[in-house]
Structure 1
Amino acid sequence: MISTANARALLTAGLIWRPASGDAFRIEQPGFDYDVFTVSAMAIEPHEFDTGTILGFNGTTEWALDSLALENALWLPREDQLREMLGRAFRALERTSDARYLVVAGLGEEQTHFTANEAADAYASAVLASMARTEPR
């Protein structure tokens, strides 16, 4: 899973989240430091309003959270979503000799390498570099 630091960096860089079933997120409020939630039509569903997107918590009677404004949620994109964001720039995902992950991306005329302990974080670094070269997504 992508690190919170990389997820925040993607948000700061302008990555736009359109919640869909299966997306993981954290609540950016005190008391939720280690909780990860998943969008699901059965339990957590995005609702579009004129004022913005609200994540509705359906059937959560054990605690008092009925909904959450999207700006209070931090999307934790999955490895496949990050790879898709790279698009044609993605070249390869490899394991290094020290058991880290290496993403190779064609950014500009060069192939650039991004390494991390988690594949999602290597992809996130590549996406951040790609975003720095283009307009926000």
Structure 2
Amino acid sequence: MLSTDLARRLLAAGLNWSPMPGDRFVVDRPGLAEEVFYLADMTVEVHEFVGGSVIGFNGVAEWALDSVALEETVWLPREDQLRAVLGHDFVGLGRTEEGYAVVALVGGTPTTLVHRDAEEAYGLAVLEVLRSRI
């Protein structure tokens, strides 16, 4: 699973989130940042309002939080979502002695990002691609 630290760095670099069922996220508040939530119809849903989006915790009796503003959350994208964000900048995924190696075009140059976790390697590649566009 993508680390919250890298997810925050991706958010700061401009990664946008359009919440969908099955997405993972954390609530970026003390005491909640280590708890991973999943968007699921009937339980945790996104509600759109004129002033912005909120994530509602429906039917969760033991949960004291009714809803949270989308801006208070950090998306933890999955491997397939990170690969989709890379789009045409994705070159390939391989294994090395150090872990998983994602090759991506960063500013048009093939660049290899390695991490022992595949999602982290993809996240690092997305981060470099986003930074190259600034």
TM-score normalised over the length of structure 2:
0.94
* Aligned counterpart, 1:120: 119
* Aligned counterpart, 1:19: 19
Deviation string for 1:60-117 (max 9, x for gaps)? 111211111011111001110000011111111111124x111011234421000112
Q: Distance in 2 between matches of 1:128 and 1:15?
A: 9
* Aligned counterpart, 1:40: 40
Query: Gapped runs of 5+ residues in structure 2?
Result: none
Q: Distance in 2 between matches of 1:108 and 1:53?
A: 33
Matched length = 134
**Identical residues among aligned pairs (%):** 49
Deviation string for 1:6-26 (max 9, x for gaps)? 100011011111110000001
The AA in structure 1 aligned to 2:121 is A
* Aligned counterpart, 1:70: 70
The AA in structure 2 aligned to 1:47 is H
List 4+ stretches of structure 1 deviating above 3 A: none
Query: Gapped runs of 5+ residues in structure 1?
Result: none
Q: Distance in 1 between matches of 2:132 and 2:33?
A: 32
Q: Is the 8 A contact 2:24 2:76 kept in 1?
A: yes
Q: Distance in 1 between matches of 2:33 and 2:41?
A: 24
* Aligned counterpart, 2:51: 51
Go from structure 1 to structure 2 and tell me whether the alpha carbon gap of 1:115 and 1:74 turns closer, same or farther (over 3 Å shift). same
The AA in structure 1 aligned to 2:123 is A
The AA in structure 2 aligned to 1:95 is R
Q: Is the 8 A contact 2:105 2:129 kept in 1?
A: no
TM-score normalised over the length of structure 1:
0.92
2:25 aligned counterpart, secondary structure: strand
